[in-house]
Amino acid sequence: MEQKETTLWDVLRSCAKGIVRIVEWFVQLVAKMLRLSFQRWWLVGGVMLLCMAAGFYYSRPANKLYKVSAIATLNGPSVSEVKSFYESLHKTFDAFCVIDCLNDGVADYVDYGRKNPLTDTLQMVMKDQIAFQFVTRNRKEIPWMEERIMYYLNTNQQFVEEYQIFKKHADRQYRFDCEQVDKLDSMTAAFYADANVPQIQSNAWTLAMGRKEIILPLRSIEEFMENKAKRDSRYALVTAPVVLHGHFEPARKAVNGRLKCTATGLIVGWLLGCLIAAFFDERRRIIRWLRQK
């Protein structure tokens, strides 16, 4: 007999039937849980109250947990090196990549969801920026934690060696830029000093001296000065292997907020209560099954 060829329509029908069966199973499960909640309301309600009380207690003021974050510039060390070292300091320490979507050297967002690996070429991971984060109960200890973290990062022997190489290159670039500015100033002063000012007429990018028109490199000079300003801002941060942008700042809302923990306790309590109620209803059958040889 010839086998019927499977078409795309057959595949779609099979997928649709599978989805319908899953939805029906889920609806039946929820309906059974609602029936158990009604029949065994004292059991399910008691478990829900206990779980809500546990969530309420976990979110008490003395046990509030806050995420503390900061962004830093790396002068020499790579993102992967600093990330690995920072996360090895403590189990609650996490480091995240900083993403530059437009590839213009300006950070757009921090990849807290870890959706962009360092090897991703579509979303540009900044090579000299990193975001630090840790969790604490005591906000007063944040300055002390910041001091210790930066001490460990900036005294790491490997990071110090990489920073020294990076700083030598940055120093050379800064001196070169300053020399070029001095040359441009001298050239401009000499040019206008030797020129016959009444005969000079100029527009945005050209200069006419009598009958002779001279094209000035004003556009190139302007671009150079803009790039120099950016490099000067970056050079100001070349003071250590890792330099923070400001300080570590805690999130405004606690990780274990009162509403969040209470709602979680309510949901977990309902699910656990329904499970216990189902076990209570089927206890005899379960005991008979356990006693079978």
User: Which residue in this structure is represented by tokens 């007999």?
Assistant: 1
Alpha helix positions (H), 40-156: 41-58, 79-89, 142-154
**pLDDT tens by residue, 30-47:** 898 888 888 888 889 999
Q: Is the pLDDT of residue 199 over 80?
A: no
CB 255 within 8 A of CB 66: yes
CA pair distance 134, 94, nearest whole angstrom = 6
Show Cβ contacts of residue 126 under 8 Å, excluding neighbours closer than 6 positions: 79, 97, 98, 99, 100, 107
104 exposure class (CB count in 10 Å sphere: 0-12, 13-18, 19+): exposed
CA pair distance 276, 270, nearest whole angstrom = 10
At residue 247, the pLDDT reads 93
**pLDDT tens by residue, 82-131:** 999 999 999 999 999 999 887 777 888 898 887 766 555 555 888 999 99
At residue 169, the pLDDT reads 95
CA pair distance 286, 279, nearest whole angstrom = 8
Reported as a pLDDT band with limits 50, 70 and 90, residue 264 is: very high
At residue 192, the pLDDT reads 60
Dihedral (CA of 122, 232, 248, 161) sign: positive
